[in-house]
Amino acid sequence: MKKIVSRSLSIAGLLLSVLLSVDGSFAADAIAPTTENALPPFQIEHSFVHTLASSKLQRSYEIYIKLPPGYDKPENAQHRYPVVYLNDGPYTFQVASGETRVPFSHGTFEEFILVGLSYAQGEDGAISRERDLTPTLDIRHKPYATGGARAYLGFLENEVMPLVEKTYRIDAQRRTLAGQSYGGLFGLWVMLNEPELFQNYILTSTSLWYNNRTMFEQETAFATHHTDLKANVFFAIGQMEHPAPCGRLKSECSDFDMVADQAAMVKQLRSHNYKNLQLHTKVIPGAYHTTTFPSGLLWALQELFLTQREPAK
C-alpha cells in the first residue's frame, strides 16, 4: 500500500539540481544557511510537498505542488485549473515557480497548477533520472541502470496523477508535461506511447542522441500504424548545443549536434502529416544545455497561457 505524507514546501527543503554535461546528468546540492537552522527558510508561496511511497516501484518520491494565487478565493471555489507536470522537479519546479509569480500576480498568465516530481528518495539524482526517464535499456550507457520509463510512467499515471487530481481542483483535460534533457526524451516517448494522457508537451534540450537516436526509430514505427497524433508540442534547444566550436564555455560544448537533432525530429514528425499534431520549435540564442530550460519553458508557457498581449514599446 502506498504511503502519502504532506507538508508545506520551502526552498531549503528542495535539492537544487544543475546540469553537468550533455548527457543530461544533474547533481543535487542542498541549499542551507551558513549557520545551520539559524535562519528561517525561504518559503515558496502557495506550495506544498506530498511524499508518495510507490507500491509499484518500491521507492518514494516527493511531489511538489504550487497553487496559483487565486486558488483559495471564494469566487474560484468551483473552478478547475490547468496543470503543468515537471520532471526533474528539484530544478524545474523552482524555475517554473519563479517564472510564473509575476505573470500570475499581474494577470498576464491564466492561472494553472504546477506539479514537480522529485528524484527517488535516498538516491543520487543522476542515478534516479537516468533510470526513470530513459525509454530503452542501453547497456553501453554505464555506470547507471537505464530503460525505466515504462515503470515510471505507470507510477506517474496510476499513483501521482490520481493523488494530485483528487487533492486539488485540476482540469484533467488540460494537462501539460514539461521536461529538460532526459526529461524531454521521456516526454517525447510518452507522446508516442500514450498521446492522450497530456494535451501539451514542453520538451527542451531533448536527448535525441540517446541509444543511437532510438526515438527516430520509434517515431517511424508509430507512423506506420497511426495517422493522427493529438498533441501540442513545444521543442526548444540552445543555440550552443552542438560540438565545438560553441562559444566561450568550452566545457559546455556538446558531443552531439542537438540543434540538428531537434530540427531532424521536427522534420520527421511533419513529414507524416499527423492530424491534430501542432508543432512549435525554437532555438534559444546563446543558450547552452545548462541554460536552455528557463527560456524554453517561459516561451512555451506564454504560448499556452498568455491572457493579454502587451503593447510593443
Helices within the chain (DSSP H only): 89-105, 125-132, 149-155, 161-167, 182-193, 210-223, 258-271, 292-305
For residue 231, what are the β-bridge partners?
A: 277
Domain boundaries, the chain: 4-305
β-bridge pairing 43-53 and 60-66: antiparallel
For 139, other C-beta atoms within 10 Å of its C-beta total 9
Q: Are 117 and 87 in contact (CB under 8 A)?
A: yes
Residue type, 133: L
30 contacts 90 by C-beta, under 8 angstroms? no
Cell 528557463: give the residue.
294
From CA 306, how far away is CA 290, in angstroms rounded?
26
Could you tell me whether strands 113-117 and 200-204 are parallel, antiparallel, or unpaired per DSSP bridges? unpaired
CA distance linking residue 297 with residue 198, whole number of Å = 16
Could you tell me the CATH superfamily of domain 4-305?
Answer: Alpha/Beta hydrolase fold, catalytic domain (3.40.50.1820)
Give residue 267's region: left, alpha or beta (phi > 0; psi -120 to 50): alpha
- Are the C-beta atoms of 244 and 196 separated by less than 8 Å? no
pLDDT by 10s per residue, the chain, length 313: 455 566 666 544 443 343 433 344 443 333 445 556 688 888 899 999 999 999 999 999 999 999 999 999 999 999 999 999 999 999 999 999 999 999 999 999 999 999 999 999 999 999 999 999 999 999 887 778 999 999 999 999 999 999 999 999 999 999 999 999 999 999 999 999 999 999 999 999 999 999 999 999 999 999 999 999 999 999 999 999 998 676 667 667 767 899 999 999 999 999 999 999 999 999 999 999 999 999 999 999 999 999 976 555 5
Place of cell 508516442: 192
SS3 assignment, position 57:
coil
